[in-house]
């Protein structure tokens, strides 16, 4: 009987998900621009439910809609020398469920969309001629 109990506990221990590690990436845009893209990405109610968002601290906490397990995801921004550092923690990302990868793809799309909508600086237009 004790053997079966130990075997069952080992099986349960193998199914517990490991906590997600924080990941950081640098972006060559200002933190204000990147925060607008993060807000745009998390603002899509079909993909995310925002739990808390702090515009002054540049931090947001959300849930991924439709995820198998509801876990709190966090996003924060830190200014760097020539850009902005994005810190993310998605505890339920991995082989079968890649919430973090999906967020990063959506964020890249949002950054590109917001950069394309920005008016071009006057000095840059003359250099292309």
**Can you give the pLDDT of all 129 residues of the chain as single tens digits?**
777 666 666 655 545 445 556 778 888 999 999 999 999 999 998 889 999 999 999 999 998 887 677 788 999 999 998 899 999 998 876 667 788 888 999 999 999 998 888 777 665 554 444
User: Whole-angstrom Cα distance, residue 40 to residue 12?
Assistant: 39
Q: Find out whether 64 and 99 touch, Cβ atoms under 8 Å.
A: yes
Its domain, for residue 49, covers 17-116
User: Whole-angstrom Cα distance, residue 37 to residue 111?
Assistant: 5
| 10 domain residue, yes or no | no
pTM (2 d.p.): 0.73
| 89 domain residue, yes or no | yes
CATH number at residue 86: 3.30.530.20
| 4 domain residue, yes or no | no
Q: What are phi and psi of 6, to 5 degrees?
A: -65, -45
């Amino acid at each position: 009987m004790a053997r079966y109990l130990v075997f069952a506990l080992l099986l349960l221990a193998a199914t517990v998900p490991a906590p997600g590690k924080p990941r950081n990436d640098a972006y060559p845009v200002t933190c204000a621009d990147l925060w607008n893209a993060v807000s745009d990405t998390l603002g899509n109610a079909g993909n995310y439910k925002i739990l808390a968002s702090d515009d002054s601290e540049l931090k947001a906490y959300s849930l991924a809609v439709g995820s198998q397990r509801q876990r709190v995801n966090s996003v924060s921004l830190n200014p760097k020398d020539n850009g902005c550092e994005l810190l993310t923690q998605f505890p339920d990302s991995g082989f079968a469920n890649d919430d973090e990868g999906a967020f990063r793809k959506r964020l890249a799309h949002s950054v590109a969309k917001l950069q394309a909508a920005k008016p071009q600086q006057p000095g840059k237009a003359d250099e292309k001629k």
